[in-house]
């Protein structure tokens, strides 16, 4: 796997409490027809956060909550927010007045744990393009990035952030910060900025959306996040029609083939550092979609506080101990792994095929 990882780097850089042990269910989950929760009714007047909007600053809030199979919303929390100081409370109040249709699996309502939804605060009559001041700052950033003056480029973005007022400007700010992190070699942090920018795609031009998607795909492949990269590629309708796409598709195909052949797939993880709360949230978290159903941690350097297995209707929490193996039951369907801890803490997530057992003759 390491040899393949080095090849990946060469190609992509050139193109720019205890659920231990082996559980009984070790097979791959069956494919099911899954429909996520949906907000289905008006949620009351959106007069929340108006003081912030009067200051002509648009923004967003990312909420995480559980939707029970009867449509009840429980445990809502603000993950991250940008724009107005009252936007988080406003989004929570707005959600409390909503009626939500539960998730369905094969036509049957199910609980959906840790569902994430973005809420946007926008001003109808605000000019959607970039202001001359912000455009000048972004041009300055581009020139500094090209000159590899990364500290000065970061300072230019800090200035632009203070002047950004529209979601259009903010989306391009997030994208630029992702570019800066990528150029500095912080691909995981770049990925987080790109994930947030993805929520803002509708406020960007179609050509910029296309470039954003391709950069996200590159970062996921560089980080060896095979499942996430495959999902991103599936969401790019014109993949293969632009310059550089053939190379991206070739690398993705090789990545999928190598991960399918390897019984053990090692992924280097790091708790995000130097990442603002509006992107990484109040609790910085590393997240990964596993290839297989059995995982463990190795090579822990720094303090980790929690490992969570988060699936469609189930969630489990474990103490982050090295060389303790957890196997995710197939009935839990699609899952993600979340690791929290001290910013900068490093580790290796071991993603492996569960051993198969046969009865003796």
Q: Which tokens sit at 321? A: 């101990």
Q: Shortest CA distance to 199 belongs to which of 278, 112, 308?
A: 278
Sign of CA dihedral 113, 116, 121, 122: negative
Residue 300 neighbours by CB under 8 Å, 6+ apart: 320, 322, 345, 346, 347
pLDDT of residue 255: 95
Residues 265, 291: contact at Cβ < 8 Å?
yes
List per-residue pLDDT tens for the chain, 361 residues long: 433 443 333 334 333 333 333 233 344 455 468 899 998 876 754 544 455 555 568 899 999 999 999 999 999 999 999 988 888 988 998 898 888 999 998 899 999 999 999 888 887 766 667 789 999 999 999 999 999 999 999 999 999 999 998 999 999 999 999 999 999 998 889 999 999 998 888 889 999 999 999 999 999 999 999 999 999 999 999 999 999 999 999 999 999 999 999 899 999 999 998 889 999 888 889 999 999 999 999 999 999 999 999 998 899 999 999 989 999 998 888 899 999 999 999 999 999 986 644 444 4
Residue 97 neighbours by CB under 8 Å, 6+ apart: 43, 44
pLDDT of residue 128: 65
Sign of CA dihedral 316, 310, 118, 68: negative
Partners of residue 159 on adjacent β-strands: none
């Amino acid at each position: 796997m390491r040899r393949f990882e080095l090849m990946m780097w060469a190609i992509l850089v050139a193109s720019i409490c205890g659920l231990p042990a082996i559980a009984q269910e070790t097979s791959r989950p069956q494919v099911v027809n899954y429909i996520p929760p949906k907000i289905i009714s008006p949620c009351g007047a959106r007069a929340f956060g108006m003081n912030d909007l009067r200051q002509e600053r648009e923004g967003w809030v990312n909420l995480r909550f559980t939707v029970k199979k009867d449509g009840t919303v429980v445990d809502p929390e603000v993950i991250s927010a940008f724009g107005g100081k009252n936007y988080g409370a406003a989004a929570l109040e707005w959600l409390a007045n909503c009626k939500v249709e539960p998730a369905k699996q094969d036509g049957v309502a199910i609980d959906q744990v840790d569902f994430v939804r973005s809420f946007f605060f926008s001003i109808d009559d605000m000019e959607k393009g970039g202001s001359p001041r912000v455009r000048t700052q972004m041009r300055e950033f581009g020139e500094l990035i090209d000159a590899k003056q990364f500290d000065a480029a970061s300072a230019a973005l800090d200035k632009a952030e203070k002047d950004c007022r529209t979601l259009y400007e903010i989306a391009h700010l997030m994208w630029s910060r992702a570019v800066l992190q990528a150029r500095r070699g912080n691909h995981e942090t770049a990925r987080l900025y790109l994930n947030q920018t993805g929520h803002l795609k509708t406020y960007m031009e179609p050509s910029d959306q296309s470039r954003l998607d391709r950069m996200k795909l590159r970062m996921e492949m560089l980080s060896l996040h095979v499942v996430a990269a495959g999902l991103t590629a599936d969401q790019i309708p014109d993949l293969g029609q632009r310059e550089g796409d053939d190379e991206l598709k070739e690398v993705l195909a090789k990545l999928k083939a190598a991960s399918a052949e390897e019984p053990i797939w090692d992924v280097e993880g790091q708790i995000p550092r130097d990442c603002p709360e509006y992107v990484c949230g109040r609790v910085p978290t590393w997240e990964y979609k596993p290839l297989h159903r059995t995982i463990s941690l190795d090579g822990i350097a720094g303090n980790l506080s929690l490992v969570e297995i988060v699936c469609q209707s189930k969630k489990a929490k474990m103490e982050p101990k090295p060389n303790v193996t957890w196997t995710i039951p197939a009935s839990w369907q699609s899952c993600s792994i979340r690791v929290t801890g001290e910013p900068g803490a490093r580790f290796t997530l071991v993603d492996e095929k569960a051993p198969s057992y046969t009865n003796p003759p």
